[in-house]
Structures are given as C-alpha cells and as structure tokens.
A and B are shown apart, each in its own frame.
Chain A
C-alpha cells in the first residue's frame, strides 16, 4: 500500500553542518510530495513541496528534489542553525489525504 519511509532519528548536528534527511515513497502515480516541520509544542507547518518529477522545493534554506527514478524526496540544508531543531515529516498525497512518514527529530547543538 501507500507508504513513506524516513530515516530514523534523532539526527544530531553541530551548528553550520550540512543536513540530509532521507525520504522515499511508494510510487502510485505521480503524487505531490511535502516536507512538514514541527517545532516543540506546536502543530505541523508546511516547509516545502514539489508537485512533479524533477521539481525542487525550497524554503528557509532547505531544499528537496522530486526524484521519480529513485522515488525519493530527500531534505537538505547547507548550514543548519540551532533554531532548525525540530521534527521533520515527509509526506505524499494520495487522492484526498496525506500519507506521512514517521518523522525525524533534528537536534542542532551550538
């Protein structure tokens, strides 16, 4: 069935380090792909999205490219900050709903 798989966390990085969080999905058609971020005590916020193959979503220094051939949508950032500490969720749409990965916690140390 439909699924989204993310790398398990937590991911711990020092400030200014390079970030990659892997995400793969099952391919049924051509879903839109999303990254959501959840800061402590808050709901999820959309970080970026891509709606077709080879699209690159970007926001706040984060990027992810829709790779149809590898069914992946990995999240990257060149230089993380302490304020990026949060839980990141990859998701794909499936007609009326979103299918979420299990989330990856990122902790950035000063």
Chain B
C-alpha cells in the first residue's frame, strides 16, 4: 500500500470556523491532489500540487486554499467552513503524469460542518 495518511480522519466543526486537513505521504511522489466525494457526484478535484510551493485550482476550488511547503505534506484549508463543505475529503498522490500513472488514495477525512 502507498504510504498516505490523512489527519484528522473525522471532524465536526461549526459554520464559520477555519479547518485544516493534512495529507502526508512517504512515497516522495511529486503530484498530490485533494478531492471531495459527495453522493451523485463521484470525486471532484479541489486543488492539486505539482511540486513544492506549486499548486493550482481544480473544478471546485472556491472556499478552499492549499499549501505545500514540503514534498511529503499537502494541506487543505477551509478558511470559513460552510455547511456545503460537509463531505468526505480524499488526498491522492501520483508519481508522474508523463507515464500516466494511476493515483493512490488516502483513507479519507469525513468533515461535518454544523
């Protein structure tokens, strides 16, 4: 199994509070991704990173920011959580897009915004 951990695994927070989710990898892969999973929508890309301090937006980036100061860590921040951000969040990593490698997924973080 790819070495990907996510923390916390579960979180309940109130509307308007900031929340940071962490993804940590031990594979030294260059590419890291944050997705959210919602019923009927599959997985949707929030942000991704193609190297340290190199990030870009995905299809559902509004209300989220990311940072990557080290190869192994990719943080997702909800500056002011809203109920629409209640979801399961998955981190994924990939070694290379040139080889069309598959992505490896973490176990997920279930976030509830009340």
Report which A residues bind B (CB closer than 8 A).
4, 32, 34, 36, 42-46, 49, 51, 89, 93, 95-98, 100-103
Contacts and interface: CB of A to CB of B under 8 A. Distances in A.
A20 B63 CA distance: 38
B23 to A, nearest CB: 11
Given A32-B100, A51-B100, A93-B100, A100 B43 contact: yes
A89 B42 contact: yes
Nearest to A32: B100
Given A96-B50, A97-B58, A49 B102 contact: yes
B70 interface: no
Interface string B96-107: 010010111111
Given A95-B97, A96-B97, A102 B40 contact: yes
B40 to A, nearest CB: 6
Contact size range, B: 20 to 34
Nearest to A102: B42
Contacts of B102: 34, 46, 49
B74 interface: no
Contacts of A36: 105
Nearest to A42: B107
Contacts of B90: 43-44
